[in-house]
Chain A
Amino acid sequence: MKALEENPEGISKAEIVVGIPSYNEASFISFPTQQADKGLTKYYAERSAVIINCDNYSEDNTRQAFMQTATQTPKIYLSTEEGVRGKGNNLKNLFTKVVELSAKAVIVVDADLKSITPFWIRDLGNPLFDSYDFVAPLYVRHKYDGTLTTNIAYPLTRALYGRRIRQPINGDYGFSGRLAEKYAESEFWTETAANFGIDIWMTTTAMRNRVSVIQSFMGKPKIHKPKDQIVATVSVFRDVIETMFQLMGRFELFWKEVKWSRPTAVYGMNLGDPEVPPPVELDPKALAENFLAGLRVHRDEYRAILSPQNVNKLQEVAELPPAGFEFPTGLWAKVVYDFAVAYKRKLLPTEELIGVLLPLFYGKTWSFILETQPMNTQQVEEFIEDQCLQFEKAKPYLVERWFSE
Chain B
Amino acid sequence: MPKILIVDDEEGIRMLYSMELQDEGYEVITLPDGKGLLEAVERERPDCIILDIKMRDYNGLDLLQEIRKKHYDMPVILNSAYSSFKVDLKAVAADYYVVKSSDLGELKDKLKVALEARIPDQ
User: Which residues of A are interface residues toward B (Cβ below 8 A)?
Assistant: 138, 161-164, 166, 210, 212, 215, 217, 254, 257-266, 269, 378, 382
Q: How far is the CA of A210 from the CA of B121 in the complex (A)?
A: 7
Please state if B86 and A262 are interface contacts (CB–CB under 8 Å). Answer: no
Please give, as numbers and ranges, the residues of chain A lying within 8 Å of B113 by CB-CB distance.
Answer: 260
Find B122's partner among A162, A210, A378, A382 (CB 8 Å cutoff): A210
Please give, as numbers and ranges, the residues of chain A lying within 8 Å of B56 by CB-CB distance.
Answer: none
Find A254's partner among B75, B93, B94, B120 (CB 8 Å cutoff): B120
B44 interface contact, C-beta 8 A: no
Please state if A259 and B68 are interface contacts (CB–CB under 8 Å). Answer: no
Please state if B92 and A264 are interface contacts (CB–CB under 8 Å). Answer: yes
Q: Closest residue of chain A to B75, judged by CB?
A: A262
Q: How far is the CA of A260 from the CA of B72 in the complex (A)?
A: 17
Please state if B117 and A260 are interface contacts (CB–CB under 8 Å). Answer: yes
Please state if B86 and A263 are interface contacts (CB–CB under 8 Å). Answer: no
Please state if B68 and A210 are interface contacts (CB–CB under 8 Å). Answer: no
Please state if B119 and A266 are interface contacts (CB–CB under 8 Å). Answer: no
Q: How far is the CA of A215 from the CA of B91 in the complex (A)?
A: 13
0 or 1 for each of B96-122: is its CB under 8 Å from A? (1 = yes): 000000000000000001101111111
B35 interface contact, C-beta 8 A: no
Please state if A162 and B117 are interface contacts (CB–CB under 8 Å). Answer: yes
Please give, as numbers and ranges, the residues of chain A lying within 8 Å of B120 by CB-CB distance.
Answer: 254, 257-258
Find A266's partner among B87, B90, B117, B122 (CB 8 Å cutoff): B90
Q: How far is the CA of A63 from the CA of B68 in the complex (A)?
A: 43
Q: How far is the CA of A269 from the CA of B90 in the complex (A)?
A: 8
Q: How far is the CA of A343 from the CA of B93 in the complex (A)?
A: 34
- The binding surface of chain A is classed by DSSP as loop
Q: How far is the CA of A378 from the CA of B113 in the complex (A)?
A: 23
A to B CB contacts below 8 Å, 7 in the list = A163-B119, A164-B92, A210-B121, A259-B118, A260-B118, A262-B95, A263-B95
Q: How far is the CA of A264 from the CA of B119 in the complex (A)?
A: 13
Please state if B92 and A260 are interface contacts (CB–CB under 8 Å). Answer: no
Find A382's partner among B86, B89, B117 (CB 8 Å cutoff): B86
Please state if B93 and A257 are interface contacts (CB–CB under 8 Å). Answer: no
- A265 and B92 in contact, given A212-B72, A378-B87, A382-B86 (Cβ under 8 angstroms): yes
Q: How far is the CA of A215 from the CA of B72 in the complex (A)?
A: 13
Q: Closest residue of chain A to B65, judged by CB?
A: A265
Q: How far is the CA of A257 from the CA of B119 in the complex (A)?
A: 7
Please give, as numbers and ranges, the residues of chain B lying within 8 Å of A161 by CB-CB distance.
Answer: 119
Q: How far is the CA of A254 from the CA of B122 in the complex (A)?
A: 7
Please state if A257 and B118 are interface contacts (CB–CB under 8 Å). Answer: yes
Q: How far is the CA of A264 from the CA of B72 in the complex (A)?
A: 9
Interface centre among B65, B94, B119, by most chain A C-beta atoms within 10 angstroms, is B119
- A258 and B119 in contact, given A212-B72, A263-B95, A265-B65 (Cβ under 8 angstroms): yes
Please give, as numbers and ranges, the residues of chain A lying within 8 Å of B65 by CB-CB distance.
Answer: 265
Q: How far is the CA of A164 from the CA of B114 in the complex (A)?
A: 13
Interface centre among A259, A262, A382, by most chain B C-beta atoms within 10 angstroms, is A262
Q: How far is the CA of A257 from the CA of B120 in the complex (A)?
A: 6
Please state if A259 and B87 are interface contacts (CB–CB under 8 Å). Answer: no
Q: How far is the CA of A260 from the CA of B114 in the complex (A)?
A: 8
Please state if B118 and A258 are interface contacts (CB–CB under 8 Å). Answer: yes
B42 interface contact, C-beta 8 A: no
Q: How far is the CA of A268 from the CA of B68 in the complex (A)?
A: 15
Q: Closest residue of chain B to A274, judged by CB?
A: B89
Please give, as numbers and ranges, the residues of chain A lying within 8 Å of B90 by CB-CB distance.
Answer: 266, 269
Please state if A378 and B86 are interface contacts (CB–CB under 8 Å). Answer: yes
Please state if A261 and B117 are interface contacts (CB–CB under 8 Å). Answer: yes
Q: How far is the CA of A269 from the CA of B68 in the complex (A)?
A: 15
B73 interface contact, C-beta 8 A: yes
Please state if B116 and A260 are interface contacts (CB–CB under 8 Å). Answer: yes
CB distance from B11 to the nearest CB of A (A): 29
Please give, as numbers and ranges, the residues of chain A lying within 8 Å of B94 by CB-CB distance.
Answer: 263
- Which 8 residue pairs of A and B lie closest in terms of their CB atoms, listed nearest first? A260-B117, A265-B93, A162-B119, A257-B120, A259-B118, A266-B89, A265-B68, A269-B89
